[in-house]
Structure 1
């Protein structure tokens, strides 16, 4: 399951998915996409928020590209809330002691 941030909306996932699938896009093209049903100004704000959190990269003139972190988020390998990559060791609960065998 994707680890979204509390600051994220459902449209953020759609924006990231479109850019990953189709490459860098200007806000205007994103706003016209069938999968994105919010206004141009809302798309612009969402892209800026995604860029502020490192999931998109602004490349100028309102065009955004996906970052490695954005790709990892979509692949369920990045926690957008805590801005950290997920690893196998994250699945271990540090508050639960592990069994040890004494010899």
Structure 2
């Protein structure tokens, strides 16, 4: 997990919206391309869900990670 991953999850959680890498980029200090890559990792870890092509929302698992109920080490063991 990276600082960008945390920012993406926080932004998705705080907004309650379905967002694209472009919108996430406009609201963080990361490029759209980098966020697209990170969203792929978050998707693989089950922390975000692809709602449609290029649109993502946080999952219950992602929310649990933000709330401290799921540790980064647990995510690495699941891979």
TM over 0.5: yes
Match runs of 1:75-90 below 5 Å: 75-83=67-75
In structure 2, runs of 5+ residues without a counterpart are none
2:42 matched residue in structure 1: 50
Give distance in 2, aligned partners of 1:43 and 1:26. 9
Give distance in 1, aligned partners of 2:23 and 2:71. 27
Q: TM (normalized to structure 1)? A: 0.68
Larger radius of gyration: 1
SS in 2 for 1:82: helix
1:2-53 CA-partner distances (Å, limit 9, x unpaired): xxxxxx11011010001011121111100110xx212110010011110011
1:91 matched residue in structure 2: none
Q: TM (normalized to structure 2)? A: 0.87
| C-alpha deviation, 1:80, in angstroms | 3.1
Q: RMSD across aligned C-alpha pairs, in angstroms?
A: 1.0
Give distance in 2, aligned partners of 1:60 and 1:81. 29
In structure 1, runs of 5+ residues without a counterpart are 1-7, 84-103
Give distance in 1, aligned partners of 2:66 and 2:59. 11
